[in-house]
Amino acid sequence: MRRVLVTGGAGFIGSHFARHLLCTYPDYRVTVLDALTYAGSLSNIADLMSDPRFAFYHGDVRDPVVVRNLVRNHDWVVNFAAETHVDRSILNPGSFLQTDVYGVYVLLEACREFGSRRFLQVSTDEVYGEVLEGFATEEAPLRPRSPYSASKASAELLVQAYHTTYGLDTVITRGSNTYGPNQYPEKMIPLFITNALEDRPLPLYGDGSQVRDWIYVEDHCVAIDTVLHHGESGGVYNIGAGNLLKNREVAEKIVEILGKSVSLIQSVADRPGHDRRYAVDTSRLRQMRWSPRWRFEDGLRHTVEWYRSHSEWWKEIKSKKEYQQFASQWYHGRAPVTPGQEE
């Protein structure tokens, strides 16, 4: 029997990962620790609650008492707990430093205190900054450019320092843009799907030519599982499916699947410091016999269908004051612009 603590497990990728562990390993016990901030929800793990191998704990990774009590009773810790939305980090960097850096410190301290426990830090391909050409290997320098990615890069350095200094058994994954069911509708794909379903504009930043590498959430979870079980201690692993697409192409596919008009896609003022391209070299992970199972077109169709048939899930989120406050603060004044004529 193995006991795995999944922090941030009521969020998007974390909840899929907790479910993946329980479905894949009958003898595992999984505990989710989640602060249930705006992006975490018990509805994401409602189906797991009755499983005797599963436990949920409401708490914050910044709280050393809570974290110590849980870490001492688990073999492995997989840390998804984080503020993750780049746009929010531009409005409010402080909460990113608090959770994404200080929270990792609290977790690492508990792992250090209770001996050798594998600690997996879920990081991001954004730590490389924009990769204008080619593909970043794990040895590429870290050049984060947003408060979000700078926080995640800082956390990584802390994790590496605990591995080097205290011999802690750590692994780091750097995942690319992930999509699928249950993703909070502030990220581009769920925002665009739900806006299109409501016949509302799809706000495309700048000229929409920025490139992201899209991976379906289940493929991302299997990749994390592979690194958790087989990753070399102290190792870093890129995760990406090689679906490099321009944002405009993704937006066009969404309206096409939904049978809506492309006129819903509206260019708006760009995100400050917007990274133009991310692309990671995933040879290291592929050598561990991982490869993505989902083609982007299939994953996107599946995701669109999920949002179409779960309107109560995202309509409830979108009707909340918190969501509307962020949306009006961020998008208000981002009036439609003609591509190429932005400031």
Q: Which residues are catalytic?
A: 125-126, 148
Q: Which residue has the tokens 């600690």?
A: 119
Rule CB under 6 A: say whether 187 interacts with ligand DAU.
yes
Rule CB under 6 A: say whether 196 interacts with ligand DAU.
no
Nearer to ligand DAU by Cβ, of 190 and 231: the residue is 190
244-246 and 211-216 as β-strands: parallel, antiparallel, unpaired?
Answer: antiparallel
Nearer to ligand DAU by Cβ, of 57 and 323: the residue is 323
Which of the stretches 165-173, 198-206, 284-292, 305-313 binds ligand DAU when contact is defined by CB under 6 A? 198-206
CB 203 within 8 A of CB 65: no
CB of 174 to ligand DAU, least distance (A): 8
Q: Give, as ranges, the residues between 116 and 155 that touch ligand DAU (CB under 6 A).
A: 124-126
CB of 27 to ligand DAU, least distance (A): 32
Rule CB under 6 A: say whether 292 interacts with ligand DAU.
no
User: How many Å apart are CA 131 and CA 174, to the nearest integer?
Assistant: 14
Rule CB under 6 A: say whether 194 interacts with ligand DAU.
no
CB of 227 to ligand DAU, least distance (A): 16
Please report which helix (H) or strand (E) contains residue 220, including its range.
helix 217-230
Give the HSE-up count for residue 39: Cα atoms under 13 Å, Cβ half-sphere.
21
Q: Give, as ranges, the residues between 9 and 48 that touch ligand DAU (CB under 6 A).
A: none
CB of 240 to ligand DAU, least distance (A): 9
Quick note: the x/- pattern for ligand DAU over 86-105, rule CB under 6 A, is: x-------------------
User: How many angstroms separate the first and last alpha carbons of the chain?
Assistant: 58
Q: How far is CA 133 from the centre of its chain?
A: 23
CB of 191 to ligand DAU, least distance (A): 5
Task: Tell me the residue number closest to ligand DAU, measured at CB.
Answer: 124
User: How many Å apart are CA 292 and CA 309, to the nearest integer?
Assistant: 25
User: How many Å apart are CA 23 and CA 155, to the nearest integer?
Assistant: 30
Which of the stretches 29-37, 40-48, 199-207, 312-320 binds ligand DAU when contact is defined by CB under 6 A? 199-207
CB of 176 to ligand DAU, least distance (A): 5
Which of the stretches 133-141, 184-192, 286-294, 306-314 binds ligand DAU when contact is defined by CB under 6 A? 184-192
Q: If you compute the radius of gyration of the chain from its CA atoms, what whole number of angstroms results?
A: 19
**Selected binder of ligand DAU within 10, 45, 67, 191 (CB under 6 A):** 191
| Integer angstrom CA distances of residue 163 from 53, 158, 167, 233 | 30, 9, 5, 8
Q: Give, as ranges, the residues between 250 and 279 that touch ligand DAU (CB under 6 A).
A: 271, 278
CB 282 within 8 A of CB 136: no
**Selected binder of ligand DAU within 247, 292, 303, 314 (CB under 6 A):** 247
Nearer to ligand DAU by Cβ, of 175 and 231: the residue is 175
Q: How far is CA 87 from the centre of its chain?
A: 14
User: How many Å apart are CA 278 and CA 149, to the nearest integer?
Assistant: 12
Which of the stretches 28-36, 137-145, 187-195, 301-309 binds ligand DAU when contact is defined by CB under 6 A? 187-195
Q: Give, as ranges, the residues between 204 and 233 that touch ligand DAU (CB under 6 A).
A: 204-205, 210, 212
171-210 burial code (b ≥16 CB/10 A, e <16): bbbbbbbbbbbbbbbbbbbbbbbbbbbeeebbbbbbbbeb
User: How many Å apart are CA 183 and CA 190, to the nearest integer?
Assistant: 6
**Site for ligand DAU, rule CB under 6 A:** 84-86, 124-126, 176-177, 187-188, 191, 203-205, 210, 212, 247, 271, 278
